[in-house]
Amino acid sequence: MKFDDALEQKLGLKNVTYKYNLGKDQLFHEAIANDRGRVYLDGPDTAQKAYATALGVKGPLVFYTDPTCTGRPVNDTFAVAWPEVEGDIWWKDNFKRFDPEKYQGLLKRVVHYLNERGATLYVQDVYAGADATYSVPYRFVGEYATHAMFAHNMFPKQVDGVDDAERKRWTMLNVPSFRCEPARDGSRSDRAVIIDFRNQICLVAGRADYCGVVKKTIFTVMNFLLPNLGFLSMHCSGNIGTNGDTAILFGLSGTGKTTLSADLERRLIGDDEHGWTELGVSNLEDGCYAKLIDLDKEAEPIIAAALSMEGTIIENVPSLADKPLAETDPQELDLADRSITENTRFSYPLTCNPNVAKDAKGGHPETIVLLTADAFGVLPPVSILEGKEVMYHFVQGFTAKLAGTEVGVTEPQAAFSACFGAPFMSHKPSVYAKLLHEKMEHHRARCILLNTGWSGGPAGQADRMSIKNTRALLDAGLRGDLHSDGMEYEVHPIFKLRMPKSCPGLDPKILSPRNTWGDQNAYDMAATKLSHMFRENFQKNGFAGFGIEAVM
């Protein structure tokens, strides 16, 4: 069926103009000419949103979102509570029920709005998933050329062997210019991001033009579909060593998931979203969506180089005060400028990386890494996890981050996100934890908990572990040194974690965190406090009721 006939049949769109599967050069010019909306709180809805730099079409597109949507609008993200899926979905504050009747009325109003205006819509056909055994055709339909270009960057354009593509196809209708009315439409505000599992539709209506919505909404869909097939969907990075050994790294923002997986000695499968089937690990995407704030260009040369590459998208990085964007080289941009948001972003194709795995696929993982960045400075730099311990720490999804600095004071904050990506996990956490445990046991994968945070004291009083030491621990874990027959372990008295007593190239003193504190009584108090946070989070989320055993 032709795409326009399919859209009329599926959505009722019939009085609109389509620009179908344009190339990135065309989308670049279309975005600058036509993408209009609000970029300042008190500004008009007709402002230009996309710009060229001094490199023109040979460089990046710079895009500015609505100021109220510089990240995922989690409080406005819903799924339609159809009876056939309501009991399977993990309902929570950032993934709430949407009334089916209200949803159907809203969808009709959005389509009527587009038909009445004779809207121009950009259509991009891509796939979610590089492996044909689960890959889903994904059709983006929206008002902004920038979003179509983002979909082109971030997803495979062709996946051979996908059977019955039309039946499997998901469609996103993305209409930032529409305004929801909560009393009428059942939304929380004037915007809504709604997943309709029955009809395979993602509806984005209102001020939700953050590019990540195009990516994370379909990731939430895939997190529902893959477990139903017996496959594990994962918020992780992955790479392959010179011996063909695959590793996956789970971690929240700031823990090193992207940095540590970008290793010149290992081929990159992907940096964010993957599936694990009976064939091995594969990327759900074909691009990267990296944070730019405070980018260290020496430590992150791949991202730095991609800033100047053709067909990439820079999101919410402010222009220089003394120079218009049209005269600015991308390398001149101030990547420490937080005046718009802390969450400045950059979208670029996977091929911008110099060492990418063929077809973005790898074998079954030999090593599973759970990353945390403990700003309290009390967790061991590395711990060995088995079975029920893996499930426990996986559903906790812990890291600790800095709340910010005011008058020289930093205060660590605990952050727990189940399965290292709770907002996107549409099934209950135990579904993913049990699949991970089963696959780990079946393929005899080893697992480490790697702490990339602080040592010798909390953030603000001690230093973060050096990347050199973290790399040494990771490399030892990937080689299997930490699981070798001759390795001796110490059990942490508070966290009950098994800590290796040695690691090649490292002073063994740093492997037991209590030894690195000058005041060991202060360490005991801080560690006990964090262990209470773990227990409180476990109880609050009712993980025991999901069949997860408390190991702390």
The catalytic site residues sit at 72, 216, 235, 253, 257-258, 272, 345
* Spatial contact of 34 and 145, defined as CB atoms under 8 Å apart: yes
Phi, psi of 289, deg, nearest 5: -130, 85
Pairing type for strands 201-205 and 232-240 reads unpaired
Q: How far apart are alpha carbons 124 and 144 in whole angstroms?
A: 11
CB atoms within 10 A of CB 51: 19
Radius of gyration of the chain (CA): 23
Whole-angstrom distance between the N-terminal and C-terminal Cα of the chain? Answer: 56
Q: How far apart are alpha carbons 159 and 385 in whole angstroms?
A: 36
- Write out the DSSP string of 194-245: EEETTTTEEEEESS---THHHHHHHHHHHHHHHHHTT-EEEEEEEEE-TTS-
Q: H-type helices in 292-364, by residue range?
A: 301-306
Which one, of 403, 497, 416, lies nearest residue 459 by Cα?
A: 403
Q: How far apart are alpha carbons 429 and 432 in whole angstroms?
A: 6
* Spatial contact of 213 and 175, defined as CB atoms under 8 Å apart: no
Which one, of 166, 271, 163, 285, lies nearest residue 222 by Cα?
A: 285
Question: What Å distances lie between residue 85 and 24, 67, 331, 343, CA to CA?
Answer: 37, 34, 48, 33
Which one, of 293, 332, 337, 287, lies nearest residue 313 by Cα?
A: 287
Residue 83, classed as helix, strand or coil, is helix
* Spatial contact of 534 and 372, defined as CB atoms under 8 Å apart: no
* Spatial contact of 401 and 414, defined as CB atoms under 8 Å apart: no
β-strand partners of 412? 402
Q: How far apart are alpha carbons 4 and 18 in whole angstroms?
A: 8
For residue 37, which amino acid is it?
G
Which one, of 134, 139, 149, 169, lies nearest residue 361 by Cα?
A: 134
Counting every residue, how long is the chain?
A: 552
Which one, of 325, 4, 27, 15, lies nearest residue 149 by Cα?
A: 27
Q: Which residue has the tokens 């990339």?
A: 452
* Spatial contact of 199 and 85, defined as CB atoms under 8 Å apart: no
